[in-house]
């Protein structure tokens, strides 16, 4: 006899586990199927959380090595114990994944370890790595299986010399040299970790800029800052071939538009050219659920696929591959199933790149507004003129606010600077309420804080910033 549930969620990443918890809060009987032995998906196990642990450690290390002397702290020549750093990271991951197990218990969510396959609407088969398959029945099934690293056809990831983000998070020593393919979020974050710890890092990017999709001006200033930190960049460059040995890799590169090539040799290479939806083993073809040209599952505005009762959220559907976007969608589906009007405002999903300085954005970029012909005003303020940033000796970067020229409504905001990922949220809230730059400019901000730069940028929209 199959076990009966109201909802079976396949995948326990931020999309899946949040969906399960919200559904349980609303009184649904919920099961989660997870093929890893720990909950939390890519984000908690091999993504956001471990990378933030390594970013935190390497930031502190770089500050001690290069920043302390300027502030009068003497005698620092820090050494890195990579094994201890990795143990710290593993502890952080374990505490987070255990937290999910605790929350499942607290919310009486049943969990099944194994690969979930959808037999038909209402029926999921769980294949454990050993033992007999288990049948589950449910009114609704949510696919939340996430994504996997995209591969280059001529560069097989062995996680020793050729790394994906998973291998780059688990290195046992600091490589002498690391070549990063792709100047996206993963490439710049993990490139930063190993650069700060002493590796020579060279980034190869196909496009003529870093961080495609981010506001161009912010990306340009970040590019300059990363170069100052010693990262080398080859933009507008494609990799055509690779020769790998156990000790090194030699990449043949040439200008993206064609031209004279060269070779780049490094001890290790990180392939960070994007991620692709992960739907392997779900049996989608057998139930007649097609994916689009990018492997994504099409859904309607309620996240329901073309098969009634089967939903999909997060990285397996369209939109930015971000943990918090998946969480929002998980909550929305749970609320729809619980009889509430669940919805997600996809126009206001913040994005953060955890480099030094941090880059954070919400809403439209200046390029997007120009392309759409939206008449807008730009207000900018540099951290160089912010008292708190000066006191912290972290003055690189700026706040940029884009407001509608007629209504003053804030359409987008971009911050490059210390704690940008924290500061972006006051603008996200403002935008959710349809607020204007003037609303922000009229709100008292505590002094001395970094957030005063946000207010000054809002004042600058009306041409009346005080400190610039
Ligand atoms: P990405 O899409 O951010 O960047 C990939 C980069 O590789 C792009 O700049 C692209 O132009 C370049 N590229 C593609 N093919 C190339 C080639 N053959 N040669 C050279 N360059 C090439 O992808 P990434 O960094 O792998 O991240 C994957 C996903 O994970 C993204 O959706 C990202 O948003 C998400 N993520 C988010 C994080 C955050 O929110 N802080 C952290 C890490 C990942």
Q: Report pLDDT digits (tens) over 157-178.
A: 999 999 999 999 999 999 999 9
- What is the whole-number distance in angstroms between the Cα of residue 220 and the centre of ligand 1? 17
The residue whose CB lies within 8 Å of the most ligand 1 atoms, and thus the one to mutate among 241, 274, 325, 416, is 274
Note the helical H segments in 266-408: 323-337, 366-371, 387-391
Residue 16 lies in a domain: yes
CB-based pocket (< 6 A), ligand 1? 152, 181-187, 189, 204-207, 212, 238-239, 272-275, 320-322, 351-354
| Whether 112 and 203 share a structural domain | no
- Of 253, 273, 293, the one marking the end of a domain is 273
Q: Report pLDDT digits (tens) over 195-244.
A: 999 999 999 999 999 999 999 999 999 999 999 999 999 999 999 999 99
Neighbouring CB atoms inside 10 A of 35's CB total 18
- What is the whole-number distance in angstroms between the Cα of residue 229 and the centre of ligand 1? 21
Q: Which residues are catalytic?
A: 447
The residue whose CB lies within 8 Å of the most ligand 1 atoms, and thus the one to mutate among 184, 233, 422, is 184
| Whether 377 and 240 share a structural domain | no
The model's confidence at residue 66, banded by pLDDT at 50, 70 and 90, is: very high
Please tell me the number of Cα atoms within 13 Å of 271 on its side-chain side.
22
The CATH number of residue 383's host domain is: 3.30.390.30
CA angle 444/419/274 to nearest 5° reads 130
Is residue 396 pLDDT above 80, yes or no?
yes
Q: Report pLDDT digits (tens) over 337-382.
A: 999 999 999 999 999 999 999 999 999 999 999 999 999 999 999 9
The model's confidence at residue 65, banded by pLDDT at 50, 70 and 90, is: very high
- What distance, in Å, lies between the first and last C-alpha atoms of the chain? 71
Domain count for the chain: 3
Residue 344 lies in a domain: no
For the chain, percent of residues with pLDDT exceeding 70: 100
The model's confidence at residue 1, banded by pLDDT at 50, 70 and 90, is: confident
| Whether 183 and 219 share a structural domain | yes
Helix (H) or strand (E) holding 345: none
Residue 342 lies in a domain: no
The model's confidence at residue 76, banded by pLDDT at 50, 70 and 90, is: confident
Q: Report pLDDT digits (tens) over 402-457.
A: 999 999 999 999 999 999 999 999 999 999 999 999 999 999 999 999 999 999 99
The model's confidence at residue 272, banded by pLDDT at 50, 70 and 90, is: very high
Q: Can you give the pLDDT at residue 379?
A: 98
What number does the ligand 1 atom closest to the CA of 321 have? 32
**Domain ranges, residue 384:** 357-461
Q: Can you give the pLDDT at residue 125?
A: 98
Q: Can you give the pLDDT at residue 458?
A: 98
| Whether 86 and 51 share a structural domain | yes
CA angle 299/111/14 to nearest 5° reads 45
Residue 92 lies in a domain: yes
Q: How far is CA 188 from the centre of its chain?
A: 12
The mean pLDDT of 273-292, rounded to a whole number, is 98
pTM of the model: 0.97
| Whether 74 and 199 share a structural domain | no
Q: Report pLDDT digits (tens) over 15-57.
A: 999 999 999 999 999 999 999 999 999 999 999 999 999 999 9
Q: Can you give the pLDDT at residue 75?
A: 73
The mean pLDDT of 278-287, rounded to a whole number, is 97
Residue 352 lies in a domain: no
Return left, alpha or beta for 235; rule: phi > 0 is left, psi -120 to 50 is alpha, else beta. Answer: beta
Neighbouring CB atoms inside 10 A of 438's CB total 16
Q: Report pLDDT digits (tens) over 100-110.
A: 999 999 999 99
| Whether 393 and 255 share a structural domain | no
Parallel, antiparallel, or unpaired for β 398-404 and 410-417? Answer: antiparallel
The CATH number of residue 269's host domain is: 3.50.50.60
- What is the whole-number distance in angstroms between the Cα of residue 427 and the centre of ligand 1? 25
**Token digits of residue 111:** 């969990």
């Amino acid at each position: 006899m199959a076990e009966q549930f109201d909802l079976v969620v396949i995948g326990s990443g931020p999309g899946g586990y949040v969906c399960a918890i919200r559904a349980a809060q609303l009184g649904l009987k919920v099961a989660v199927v997870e093929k890893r032995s720990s909950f939390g998906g890519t984000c908690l196990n091999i993504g956001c959380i471990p990378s933030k642990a390594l970013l935190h450690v390497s930031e502190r290390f770089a500050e001690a090595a290069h920043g302390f002397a300027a502030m009068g702290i003497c005698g620092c020549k820090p050494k890195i114990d990579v094994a201890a750093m990795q143990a710290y990271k593993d502890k952080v991951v374990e505490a987070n994944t255990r937290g999910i197990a605790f929350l499942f218990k607290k919310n009486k969510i049943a969990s099944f370890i194994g690969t979930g396959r959808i037999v038909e609407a209402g029926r999921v088969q769980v294949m454990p790595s050993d033992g007999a398959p288990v049948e589950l029945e449910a009114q609704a099934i949510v696919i939340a299986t996430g994504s996997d690293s995209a591969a280059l056809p001529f560069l097989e990831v062995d996680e020793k010399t050729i790394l994906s983000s998973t291998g780059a998070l688990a290195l046992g020593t600091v490589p002498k040299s690391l070549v990063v393919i792709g100047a996206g979020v993963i490439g710049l974050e993990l490139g930063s970790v190993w650069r700060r710890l002493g590796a020579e890092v060279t980034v190869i990017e196909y496009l003529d800029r870093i961080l495609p999709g981010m506001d161009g001006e912010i990306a340009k200033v970040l590019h300059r800052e990363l170069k100052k930190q010693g990262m080398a960049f080859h933009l507008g460059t494609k990799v055509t071939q690779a020769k790998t040995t156990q000790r090194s890799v030699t990449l043949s590169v040439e200008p993206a538009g064609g031209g004279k090539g060269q070779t780049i040799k490094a001890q290790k290479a990180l392939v960070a050219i994007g991620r692709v939806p992960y739907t392997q083993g779900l049996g989608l073809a057998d139930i007649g659920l097609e994916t689009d040209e990018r492997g994504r599952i099409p859904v309607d505005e309620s996240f329901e696929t073309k098969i009634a009762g089967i939903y999909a959220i997060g990285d397996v559907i369209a939109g930015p591959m971000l943990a918090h976007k998946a969480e929002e969608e998980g909550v929305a589906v749970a609320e729809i199933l619980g009889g509430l009007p669940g919805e997600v405002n996809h126009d206001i999903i913040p994005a953060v790149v955890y480099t030094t300085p941090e880059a954070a954005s919400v809403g439209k970029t200046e390029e997007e507004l120009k392309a759409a012909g939206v008449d807008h005003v730009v207000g900018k303020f540099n951290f160089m003129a912010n008292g708190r940033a000066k006191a912290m000796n972290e003055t690189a970067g700026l706040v940029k606010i884009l407001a509608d020229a007629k209504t003053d409504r804030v359409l987008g905001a971009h911050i490059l600077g210390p704690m940008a990922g924290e500061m972006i949220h006051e603008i996200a809230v403002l935008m959710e309420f349809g607020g204007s730059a003037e609303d922000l400019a009229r709100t008292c901000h505590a002094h001395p804080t970094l957030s005063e730069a946000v207010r000054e940028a809002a004042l600058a929209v009306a041409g009346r910033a005080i400190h610039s």
